[in-house]
Structure 1
Amino acid sequence: MAGTLYIVGVGLGPGQITQEAINVLRSVGEVFIEEYTSMFETSLGDHIAKVVGRMVVKLNRRDLEEESGRVIINAIRERGSAALAVIGDPMLATTHSALVTQATQLGIRVRVINGISIVCAAVSQAGLSLYKLGPVATVTYERGGVLSKRAYEVLAGNISRGLHTPLLLDIKDEGGFMSIREAVDVLIRLEDEVKQGIVSDDLAAVFESRIGWSDQAVVVASLTNPPDLKPPSVILIPGLLNPVEEEYLRVVHGAGEELLRRHINHVKALMRTMQHSSG
């Protein structure tokens, strides 16, 4: 089967779409969007219609997952090409990966047009070193009576090596996004279960809200005393801070010197304990 599928990242906010993305969205046979894996500051469909000058077709979770993107595949058959525009950077959601795999198996050419991702943007806005970034995890809701420990386990592994931990926040089954307070409550609950002493008043966190939007906010505070910020949000928990990172958090984000001192001492103590127990 001939034809081309474009997975187009449009960034996190209205001003972040690239010229390459605009050119693709203007030239393909049909443009689709999905907004259930993330949030945009305005209506994504209205924004693309304004910037690109054409209407788009909005897809939901059922269209892409249960129906395996059939409507997109059909559009490629009929018009030779189609694009799925997504918020942030493509391929960070397994939904998009499954669509690309299916299209490739059908002989459809696939091109991924990158956009600004929340992970890179969060680290950059925080002023922390990308070279010290550990694995990413998502803080999830309890489902089926089970609360996943994955976020806590990833955090523990990163802290043991002095690495920074980006924590994404879950999407509710009925739509909408987990709040920062809900995420912290989950981490506290996991601490009560696992009891490794990681989540405490001494652990600092960079709380980030609506990155790339006109009302974005970045606040450094104790993990157990989070600010009240609007979703979509991300939590970045620093590992061992170097002097440049420490100064950036203090001067640019107004982090308290006492909190940063407690954080560094807490991380060092955890690293000694974890490395000793693993050895």
Structure 2
Amino acid sequence: MKKLFIIISILVVSITNLFSIELSGTVISDNEKIISSRYMGFIKKVYVHEGDFVKKGQLLYEIDSSNIDSNKQEALLNLQIQENNLNNVKTNYERYKRLYEKDLVPKYDLEQLELKLKNIENMISIAKAKLKEVNFQYKYLKITAPNNGLIIKKSIKSGEMAMPTSPAIILSDLDSLKIKTEINESNLGKIKIGQEVNILIESIGLKTKGKIESIIPNIQNMTHSFSVKISFDKMNKKLYPGMYSKIYFELSNNE
């Protein structure tokens, strides 16, 4: 009788201290990038559509170069003018130098030409730097994918104006998928980082294990819930952001 009481007591303690709950979750990408252009200009062509898979470095869209072409012509013209001025001043300087050696012109005139030469040389350096800057801008006219991923949103069309602060494309990295769920504040103390959970994604028949990676306070405080991100074994299944999943937590009642 005593042994039976002990067994029943152990079962009661186990049931009291350990229970499981089922939560709904969503597959998300933990590396979702909002892509926009660095410079303003008309969009020449868009090479991708929503739902396309892209590789790292693949061309997504291209901005017309007309504005930069105009700036380049202006920079080249300015550089040419300054180089012509330099040649003319050098010619005068050499002539004045010969005259000065024969005491035919004052030293002040020669010094003024020397100062003018230095000023023009500085202006040429600035003009070259400007031209280099303009040429560098061409590389930003072709916007490429920063990593492999899935185009989940495209907000641009050919002929539209690309704005540096306006999101053009959202790229979701399928190699960084997690599952996100919400847990009530009352159960928060019963889970921990690193805890294993069971996961079911019925649409593809995936039963797998996961691990709690982070617990984040929900911005909407009125819900009194916390966001939980879970890494999991994908078992070589094709998964996409937005897929519905079930997560089974074993919760402990121990304080």
Shorter-chain TM-score bucket reads under 0.3
Answer 1 or 2: higher relative contact order, Cα 8 Å, separation at least 6.
Answer: 2
- Of Structure 1 and Structure 2, the greater strand share is in 2
Q: In terms of Rg, which structure is larger?
A: 2
TM score, norm. by length of structure 2: 0.24
TM score, norm. by length of structure 1: 0.22
